[in-house]
Structure 1
Amino acid sequence: MSNWAETVMLWHVYPLGFTGAPIRPDGADDDGQSDAGAADQPVEHRLNRIEAWLDHVVELGLNGLLLGPVFPSSTHGYDTVDYFRIDARLGDDGDIDRLIAAAHDRGIRVLFDGVFNHVGREHPAFAALEEQGPEADTADLFRVRWDGWQAGEPVDADVFEGHDALVTLNHDSPAVADLVVEVMTHWLGRGIDGWRLDAAYAVPSAFWARVLPRVRAEYPEAWFLGEVIHGDAVRIVEESTIDSLTQYELWQGIWHGIADRNLFELKHAIERNNELLSVFAPQTFVGNHDVTRIASAIGPDLVPHALAVLFTVAGVPSVYSGDEYGYEAVKEERLGGDDAVRPEFPDAPPAPGSLPESAQHILRTHQLLIAVRRQHPWLHRAHTDVIHIDNTAMVLRTATGTDAVVTALNVGDAPVSVPVADATRVLAGSLADDIDRHAGEASLPPRGWAVLSATPA
């Protein structure tokens, strides 16, 4: 695995929403097809709107850009119809080259979102199959049941989680492995630094184990992040050779532990996170393009508590664009239910002074905690001990042999006094009183939090 991944922190962008591109052109829906087809869309040069935000990424203290889908698709980007072009709703090759170069000029790594479990039904490879039947050159790319099929009839193919528009690739086929290797190396050759592997949990680990070493042989510094929502994470990494997986268990523990005033759930998630670290450092987050905004989930005043955990617990942290301003939105299980959490952004970042006070506070908290993380790079793989826990108060101690960080949280409405071990000074947040070094305690105000520096005994 590349060394740069040990210090990268990501800004996650869903490009179609961010740039104001139409998600469902020509009357398409999330489980159907566009009337015109992705290939017929005129080129709109929208990617420069992301480029205009790169200085903001640097000012946050982040150094990675995790892009959602940028390839042509029929609707939302996850129904790919061409792996080798840029979606005309976003721009063209020149636009993506400029964005990658602008990011690299600022020391920002770039990751693409690769949807390699399935393609859109409008993908030419599947369209050829529907037209030509089992004699098509692309027949080996898909899992199809031909019994009873007649020319002109829909093809009975495996689809992803019941979505008829998302046709599953045949991961036992050498042709599919060759295709994915070709796609990955093509864009790594164009300058990207790694891949997010969409729906990696749905793809056999043996497939990744065949593909990724071939890619690494040509691009040894490439980094691969698998989207895994459930399952045995350690086994998946060991069998697949994927570098990192999305840490949904910690995300859920942060959300529900804080929202439900049941920090024991967060304790369990942190302990589970510790169990991964001997094998890999997971991608950690409190928001992404598929979930309710953290400010809506737990309330804006408790967002700093979630961030304090995110940036002091091991992993590869990411910030979903807009969360740094306290954007609020709720994901809904309906057609277009993701739209609210994938909004259009302004052409350029707002001046901090123009923001509401709550947004200014959340922005400053991001910057402060990201700086703390930068100052303690060993947090990437360090274990966290829970040294105090009740329903509404928690103290974490994350340490190496030479340094330690203590994170104290109070999500209750009354002040609390909590043990802070060997903590000596405040790095972020606030205390009601100075640390009582004799007693090893500190007082947190109602809904207070603090990140403290400590020296191990």
Structure 2
Amino acid sequence: MKDNHNKPIIYQVFTRLFGNNNNHCIYNGNITENGCGKMADFTIKALNEIKKLGATHIWYTGIIEHATQTDYRRYNIRPDHPAFVKGKAGSPYAIKDYYDVDPDLAKDIPGRMKEFENLVLRTHRCDLKVIIDFVPNHVARQYHSDSQPDGTAQLGANDDPAYAFSPYNNFYYIPNSELHAQFDMKGAAAEAYKEYPAKATGNNRFDAYPNINDWYETVKLNYGIDYQNGNTPHFNPIPDTWTKMLDILLFWAGKNIDGFRCDMAEMVPVEFWEWAIPQVKAQYPSILFIAEVYNPAEYKNYLFRGKFDYLYDKVGLYDTLRSIICNNGSATAITHAWQNLGGIEKRMLNFLENHDEQRIASDFFAGNPFKAIPGLIVSACMNTNPMMIYFGQEFGEPGMDNEGFSGRDGRTTIFDYWSIDTIRRWRNGGKFDGNMLTDEQKALYSIYQRVLTLCNEEKAISQGDFFDLMYANINGWRFNEHRQYAFLRKYENELLIIVVNFDHMSMDLAINIPTHAFNFLQIPQNPQYRAKDLISGEEEDISLLPYKATDISVKGYSGKILKIIL
């Protein structure tokens, strides 16, 4: 594996959808009708193609066994009540067995763990690193591990359900109350689902009446916080749940993976992470921990106390760029987004798509994937921190299918058996020859590939200094600070001038580079430098002087990364 100066470029892929070739899926179809992709579909050829895009890591989403409506009883897997499974395939965030691989993903179901281990080996052979989900806050309502190691107890096996909260319990209970969900608890089953006493629901619902908008298919895990009595912590002695979850982390780390993306990490007390992550890293020093955290007030807590490597930059950069791309916000907000992070911007994971968010090309976001190219350049190139893209984003996947449980909402389903049109065209039965892609898809892909590979080809991006030029260009004569954004990156004698245009029209810009930038980055002043645009490959002459604006023309929905050797 390469040195640590790599800027992580994470390719998130929804594992069960990637390899499904079925081009006539039916609404709410089962696994027999609609088919399902397998781990085996990530061939050496497929992995090399993902690597070619510029990826350094693959996040295989949905590896761990979760609740499903598919019947696997012949493999000694207990069935789940259909009223408490979202979609025919089920949510990958309703974990049913922390110690097993989802049977949907295996060609040989009894050998599914071996198939996963082989997937890790293949991925590493292609010089890519493996990230999987760790879902710590909640489990499927009918959680049951068939695969946990001997000598370990089931979650909840030793609980005393007479207590709403006990630091010795793994779950929270509603004593003497049966679960009464505010929807049909029978579903397709002969009998209604029974749960007595009711357990608290995953999204911190501490009563017996979850509704359709709750995470009703999950139950909340107890990390020693008494939420109903002023959030009182009970961390001494170490809660039983902590020990069980550390064992699970160590189990998967032992499969030679390279990182965990920790689902809803902020719903688990930071004290648990502070205790667990150093113990995992003591045995596996290079393993990454990425937290899904949405509350900026908690960022530093989870980074410095909780020991996470990276956090999602969702409510900052993602929301800002989405607003600008949709022409609802000003590009000046990008400066505020990174400044608000107060020095932790190198520890944030940037993205424009993931499984939770709407597709850029969907009617609900930009409608046109090319509108997000300026946002791609900004989020990928403005710092040394990781960038993530979601499979199909690079081809403009619109996510406008009505798959089943997941309606026509601009998202690619995580609940249904389905097949993704752009990915199917790209794979073309495993040939990856480009023959089924449209010219527009090829054009978009080539821009993504160029930008993402530059992130590690150019040390100015992966390791260099960053200088935001916006403050010197407010009310510019030929620069609209609401629709353009400009910044510098520098490493040793290499300078990048990066300019993006969120507007649909081509613009001839005059960009002020202030004296402070020349001093801070130690740029020699020169009326004529030869610059190469790293995206198009074209060269142009530009001047770099503090008292005279630099002329740069940029096409609509586009950007330039001008490289100058000083």
Same fold (TM over 0.5): yes
Structure 1 residues 399 and 159: alpha-carbon distance in aligned structure 2, compared to 1, 3 A threshold: farther
Structure 1 residues 313 and 351: alpha-carbon distance in aligned structure 2, compared to 1, 3 A threshold: same
Residue 133 of structure 1 and its aligned partner are, at CA, apart by: 4.3
Deviations 1:346-402 (A, max 9, x none): 343642354212111111111211222112245346434133451112212233565
Tell me, in whole angstroms, the C-alpha distance in 1 between the residues paired with 2:3 and 2:266: 25
Q: TM-score, normalised by structure 2?
A: 0.69
- Which residue of structure 1 aligns with residue 337 of structure 2? 269
Deviations 1:213-267 (A, max 9, x none): 1111111111100111223212321121111111112112222112216212333
- Which residue of structure 1 aligns with residue 437 of structure 2? 355
Q: TM-score, normalised by structure 1?
A: 0.84
Residue 121 of structure 1 and its aligned partner are, at CA, apart by: 0.4
Aligned with residue 254 of structure 1, among 289, 301, 321: 321
Contact 1:290–1:331 at 8 Å: present in 2 too? Answer: no
Tell me, in whole angstroms, the C-alpha distance in 1 between the residues paired with 2:21 and 2:64: 13
Letter aligned with residue 279 of structure 2: R
Structure 1 residue 303 corresponds to structure 2 residue 394:
no
Deviations 1:59-109 (A, max 9, x none): 112121111121111111110010111111111012111111101111110
Tell me, in whole angstroms, the C-alpha distance in 2 between the residues paired with 1:305 and 1:289: 21
Contact 2:174–2:198 at 8 Å: present in 1 too? Answer: yes
Structure 2 counterpart SS, 1:164: coil
Most deviating of 397-406 and 319-328: 397-406
Residue 404 of structure 1 and its aligned partner are, at CA, apart by: 3.2
Contact 1:15–1:70 at 8 Å: present in 2 too? Answer: yes
Tell me, in whole angstroms, the C-alpha distance in 2 between the residues paired with 1:349 and 1:267: 43
- When Rg is computed on C-alpha atoms for both structures, the one with the higher figure is 2
Structure 2 counterpart SS, 1:220: coil
- Which residue of structure 2 aligns with residue 443 of structure 1? 553
Residue 274 of structure 1 and its aligned partner are, at CA, apart by: 6.5
Identity score, percent:
18
Tell me, in whole angstroms, the C-alpha distance in 2 between the residues paired with 1:139 and 1:359: 54
Residue 139 of structure 1 and its aligned partner are, at CA, apart by: 6.7
Structure 1 residues 126 and 186: alpha-carbon distance in aligned structure 2, compared to 1, 3 A threshold: closer
Structure 1 residues 420 and 15: alpha-carbon distance in aligned structure 2, compared to 1, 3 A threshold: farther
Unaligned runs of 5+ in 1: 35-42
Tell me, in whole angstroms, the C-alpha distance in 2 between the residues paired with 1:410 and 1:159: 45
Structure 1 residues 72 and 255: alpha-carbon distance in aligned structure 2, compared to 1, 3 A threshold: same
Residue 28 of structure 1 and its aligned partner are, at CA, apart by: 10
Structure 2 counterpart SS, 1:140: coil
- Which residue of structure 1 aligns with residue 189 of structure 2? none
Structure 1 residues 87 and 431: alpha-carbon distance in aligned structure 2, compared to 1, 3 A threshold: closer
Residue 20 of structure 1 and its aligned partner are, at CA, apart by: 4.2
Aligned with residue 397 of structure 1, among 471, 482, 488: 488
- Which residue of structure 2 aligns with residue 18 of structure 1? 18
Structure 1 residue 341 corresponds to structure 2 residue 401:
no
- Which residue of structure 2 aligns with residue 411 of structure 1? 502
Letter aligned with residue 358 of structure 2: T
Structure 1 residue 383 corresponds to structure 2 residue 461:
no
Structure 1 counterpart SS, 2:116: helix
Tell me, in whole angstroms, the C-alpha distance in 2 between the residues paired with 1:146 and 1:295: 48
Unaligned runs of 5+ in 2: 68-89, 107-111, 145-153, 180-193, 204-213, 225-237, 475-480, 514-522, 524-528
Tell me, in whole angstroms, the C-alpha distance in 1 between the residues paired with 2:278 and 2:141: 29
Aligned-residue RMSD, C-alpha: 3.6
Contact 1:83–1:183 at 8 Å: present in 2 too? Answer: yes
Structure 1 residues 198 and 360: alpha-carbon distance in aligned structure 2, compared to 1, 3 A threshold: same
Structure 1 residue 365 corresponds to structure 2 residue 447:
yes
Structure 1 residue 294 corresponds to structure 2 residue 343:
no
- Which residue of structure 2 aligns with residue 188 of structure 1? 253
Letter aligned with residue 140 of structure 2: G
Structure 1 residues 287 and 424: alpha-carbon distance in aligned structure 2, compared to 1, 3 A threshold: farther
Letter aligned with residue 50 of structure 1: F
Contact 1:194–1:222 at 8 Å: present in 2 too? Answer: yes
- Which residue of structure 2 aligns with residue 452 of structure 1? 562
- Which residue of structure 1 aligns with residue 64 of structure 2? 71
Most deviating of 120-129 and 356-365: 120-129
Letter aligned with residue 495 of structure 2: A
Tell me, in whole angstroms, the C-alpha distance in 2 between the residues paired with 1:117 and 1:211: 14
Aligned with residue 140 of structure 1, among 169, 187, 192: 169
